[in-house]
Structure 1
Amino acid sequence: MAAPTTTTPPPRSTKTLTIDVLSYSEMKKNLANGKCVESDAVIAGGHSWRIRFYPNGRSVNTTGVATVFLRMDNTAAAGAGDDVHVEFKFTLQELGGGGGPPLFVSSTFTRAFSSRKTKMFALRLTRFVSHEDTGKSVFAMYDRYTIRCDLAVLPPPVKTEAAAG
């Protein structure tokens, strides 16, 4: 009986994406529901990634709700039927805050982006809420900030095959 063979997966590919919001109040006035701003693309794990920020929501039922998405641009780069597994989290940081603590850090999400269709994963920024006495959202308190996404493209699952013998 032949021993199984394994393929060593490539290491995790990590990158950081950022988008600066210079004036949330102005952006909210000027970008209607469904309109967004995008970060520059970064390449991680052989795929192009961006942050998309919708200050007035992406769809009719989210009007007035700021939403951030992680997007994989080039879904055709993956092999047919392969999903791209990603671990990511969003951080909201005061712009020019001099390295102070983040205003918010999301949970870490692990998701599979499909190579068969364009797919984005959302985290509504209404969850970025201050628990201070004022009860105001961080958007009301800080008009300028950076949205950061720490991204790790995970290696594909290891496939084991029995060697022919």
Structure 2
Amino acid sequence: MPSTTSSVDSGKPLQSASAIVAGTESGQHLLKIAGYSRTKDVVPTGSDIKSRSFRVGGHSWNIRYYPNGMNSAWSGYISIYLQLDHNVPKGVRAQYTFDLLNHEGKPVPQYTLSSGEVKIFRDHGWGSHGFIKRDELEKSGHVKDDCFTIRCQLTVMKEIQTKDMDVDSATPLPHPPMPAVVVVPPPDLHHHLGSLLKTGEAADVTFEVEGKTFRAHRCVLAARSPVLLAELSSLQATAVVVMRIEDMEAQDFEAFLHYVYTDTLPEMKKGNDAAAMLPDLVAAANRYKMERLRLVCEDKLCELVNARTAAAMLTFAGEHHCNGLKEACLQFLEDPGNLKEVLKANGLEQLSPSVLKDLIAKLVAGLQPSNA
């Protein structure tokens, strides 16, 4: 921003200046795994242990540690992920590094994972399915007294601000630090809206699904989905609007409404329940044009890719334009052992010609010699 000048009686111009500051804040968190063998024996594949919360860049974070891998495709590995503790609709831009530390507290170079700038959400963290292979870790000598430590270094890209500057020094004017006398809790709007859905207080829309009724609020529905906005606007304004949903199961629609009000999915049991519900929620997200819901479900479906589901997931991904899920399935099938298991189950017979073409292209690309 240019400085301003004006004449005064003394003849000396008035000047002012400001600076646009794109700041960052860095911090680190040490996660010590004490009793590694027990975590490996007790926590099943696909389940995690969450670290204590820590704050960097004005946000609260946690680390999710999967001692037996995030899903069956990575059951021989330790998976590690960084997530927000609270909901930030637009996400938080950050860079992170995960290091395995040796006994002297120094990073082990071959077990270091660094990211570029990424956008992190509460329901969509970043990290690695295959941070370290368990048998390699156990043979490495870095586990001592059944303990080892992972360090997370985090840099948060803070909101860009404009500050006043001292014209003579051309540096931002100092602001004396204020003592932290107020602790602001995480946002809780989703709790209030979830309670509103649960009680049905002041509801003015009733959905009928498979003989069950669900009470909701026009203003919330219209704010969340452009399709629902159009459908509700076309209906005559009455005390209570009744809408019948013919192409969803009641439990799926209940989960859909939960997301509409809280921006999160309800708790699901891992395995069959999630595998059955998530594809239906993807279809609902496409129907009601709720892109984030589709991506949340797609991310969770990626965790369920295994020899039994890979072929069906690949077909589903093609039909519903889930490019991330498609890539996860193709990566899974690149492994000869995984492909053999799928072929043994005749899983590839259900694939369409276009999906088979993509799979063959992926496998052929993997056979090309490296230029390195």
Q: TM-score, normalised by structure 2?
A: 0.34
Select 2:107's aligned residue among 85, 94, 102.
102
CA distance in 1, matches of 2:160, 2:95: 14
Q: Give the superposed CA RMSD.
A: 2.9
Conserved 8 A contact 2:94-2:157: yes
Higher RCO by CA contacts (8 Å cutoff, separation 6 or greater): 1
Conserved 8 A contact 2:94-2:120: no
Conserved 8 A contact 2:95-2:116: yes
- 2:117 aligns with 111
Check if 1:139 corresponds to 2:138: yes
- 1:17 aligns with 29
Highest Rg: 1 or 2? 2
Conserved 8 A contact 1:17-1:39: no
CA distance in 2, matches of 1:83, 1:157: 15
The structure with the greater share of residues assigned to strand is 1
Conserved 8 A contact 1:36-1:54: yes
- 2:101 aligns with 93
Question: How many residues in Structure 1 have an aligned counterpart in Structure 2?
Answer: 142
Using a 3 Å threshold, how does the CA distance of structure 1 residues 103 and 23 change in structure 2: closer, same or farther?
A: farther
Conserved 8 A contact 2:20-2:160: no
CA distance in 2, matches of 1:29, 1:114: 30
- 1:163 aligns with none
CA distance in 2, matches of 1:40, 1:49: 8
Select 2:151's aligned residue among 145, 148, 154.
148
Shift of 1:144: 1.5
CA distance in 2, matches of 1:74, 1:68: 19
Shift of 1:6: 6.4
Moved more, 67-76 or 150-159: 150-159
Identity of aligned residues (%): 22
Per-residue CA deviations over 1:65-84 (Å, capped at 9, x if unaligned) read 211111112123xxx5x342
Shift of 1:127: 6.2
Which 4+ runs in 1 deviate beyond 6 A? none
Partner AA of 1:43 in structure 2? R
CA distance in 1, matches of 2:98, 2:67: 16
Per-residue CA deviations over 1:103-155 (Å, capped at 9, x if unaligned) read 3452431232255x621112222269xxxxxxx61233324111110111013
- 1:132 aligns with none
Matched position secondary structure for 1:89: strand
Conserved 8 A contact 1:93-1:103: yes
CA distance in 2, matches of 1:127, 1:6: 48
Partner AA of 2:71 in structure 1? S
Question: Is there any run of 5+ residues in structure 1 with no aligned partner, and where?
Answer: 129-135, 160-165
Partner AA of 2:21 in structure 1? T
Matched position secondary structure for 1:28: helix
CA distance in 2, matches of 1:118, 1:101: 31
Using a 3 Å threshold, how does the CA distance of structure 1 residues 138 and 114 change in structure 2: closer, same or farther?
A: closer
- 2:38 aligns with 26
Using a 3 Å threshold, how does the CA distance of structure 1 residues 60 and 137 change in structure 2: closer, same or farther?
A: closer
Shift of 1:156: 4.1
Matched position secondary structure for 1:103: strand
Using a 3 Å threshold, how does the CA distance of structure 1 residues 100 and 84 change in structure 2: closer, same or farther?
A: closer
Partner AA of 1:93 in structure 2? L
CA distance in 1, matches of 2:156, 2:30: 17
Question: Is there any run of 5+ residues in structure 2 with no aligned partner, and where?
Answer: 3-17, 163-372
